[in-house]
Structure 1
Amino acid sequence: MTRQGYFSGPPPVEAAPTPTAKTSNQLKWDIAAAAQTTLPYNGLDVQARQDGKGYKLLVLAKDVTWIDEDEGSRRAEATIMVVCYNVKGKELLHKSIEEKERIPAGTDVDHGQHVAFPFAFDVPEKTSRIRFVVRDAGTGHIGTADVNLK
């Protein structure tokens, strides 16, 4: 027999996450998993174009979540990751950034327009394939683009 308060009782139970909620670790894993495969992800329509010292990632504007700003413009946010591989599939470069792009109020985003996210980086010398992963901050949708150099 024990008296009241002698044992602390059962440990507190954390609330179960909702089915749509994701932790930041899960999101990081989703992006990293998309970068380490050759499987195309098409949650976002992504195209990579070489642009000066780096690449410009074109994403179909209607696929991105737009946030209205106070001054009337709209803003889209994305997490972008680039991974460069050599001919044997060894990772040579791994870099990610958070990028924002603004457009003027009233811009038509529903008829094939693209938003451009710039990504400057130095391509390692023995790179044969570059994998870009773009994740929309609003919906979590992921799209990929691959560039074969050799």
Structure 2
Amino acid sequence: MTDSPAPRAAKLLGFAGLVPSLTMVAALVLLPGYRDAAAVMGVAYGALIASFVGGAWWGLVSARAEPTAQPRMLVRSVVPALLAWLALLVPPASGCLLLAAIFASLPPMDRDLCRQGVAPAWWFGLRRPLSLAMAGLHAAAAAILVFSAA
């Protein structure tokens, strides 16, 4: 696996994708009257992004993975969406915590996709900070929701 810089458009769009989750955390802190709406929208967006990443994995694996590795990698690619769906079914604080765990668990698959030549060489270098930022933002939201409820 060799690192190469991600295309500028991928970087800009990837980091722009953090804006809704940043907005959720800011709204939870600064706009207490919108707390419930911010939490629900933040969980929904996080679930959408986790599903998006899994879908990207599915596409990469379907197109480029070795036939022997493909079934296992395809199974791994649907896990984020299935777990994210569960995040929509629980209270927002629990949903945020589950999403934080989901996002924190994504980098190993991104690394594996690069090591096996399935993803572009720049993939892991871009995906890791994005996944960890989403994990941190959802963990922060969960903490705010739990500790501001008292």
Q: TM-score, normalised by structure 1?
A: 0.25
Q: Which has a greater percent of helix?
A: 2
Flag the structure with higher strand content. 1
Higher relative contact order (CA 8 A, sep 6+): 2
